[in-house]
């Protein structure tokens, strides 16, 4: 899956306007990533990529690129 496709999945799951997120977007600036948003991202990683994202790991993410790398 390309980075663009992954970003599109994240935007769709978090109900963010398409083409808003860039790889360099800071995770801390994504207002939709509140507690339910974080849970959504965790479930998305599990469902789509079979990756177990933890709360601790999520805290380490600086940019959207870190999320994309984790999904790889």
Partner 1 sequence: MEGIYMADYLNLTNKRIMIAGVATGIGKTTAILLSELGADLILLDINVKELNETMALLKPGQHFSFPVDLSDILNIEKKVNGIIDISGSLDGFVYCVGIRSRRPLRMITPKVLSEVINLNFGAFLELTRCITKKNNFNSELSIVGISSIAASRGGAGVTAYAASKGAMESAVRCLAKEMAPKKIRINTVVPAQTNTPAYTALQNMAAADEDAILARQYLGLGEPLDVANVIAFLLSANSRLITGSAIPVDGGFLTS
Is 38 a residue that touches partner 1 (CB under 8 A)? Answer: yes
Q: Which is nearer to partner 1, 1 or 43 (CB)?
A: 43
Rg of the chain, C-alpha, whole Å: 11
Is 8 a residue that touches partner 1 (CB under 8 A)? Answer: no
| Distance between start and end Cα atoms, the chain | 8
Looking at 7, 10, 44, 45, which residue binds partner 1 (CB under 8 A)? 44
- 56, 46 Cβ separation under 8 angstroms: no
Among the listed ranges 2-10, 17-25, 48-56, 63-71, the one in contact with partner 1 (CB under 8 A) is 48-56
Among the listed ranges 1-9, 20-28, 43-51, 64-72, the one in contact with partner 1 (CB under 8 A) is 43-51
Q: State the Cα–Cα distance between residues 14 and 26, nearest whole angstrom.
A: 15
Q: Which is nearer to partner 1, 52 or 72 (CB)?
A: 52
Q: State the Cα–Cα distance between residues 53 and 22, nearest whole angstrom.
A: 21
């Amino acid at each position: 899956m390309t980075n663009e496709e992954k970003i599109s999945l994240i935007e769709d799951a978090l109900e963010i306007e398409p083409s808003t997120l860039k790889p360099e977007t800071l995770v801390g600036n994504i207002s939709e990533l509140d507690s339910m948003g974080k849970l959504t991202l965790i479930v998305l990683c599990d469902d789509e990529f079979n990756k177990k994202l933890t709360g601790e790991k999520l805290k380490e993410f600086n940019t959207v690129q870190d999320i994309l790398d984790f999904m790889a």
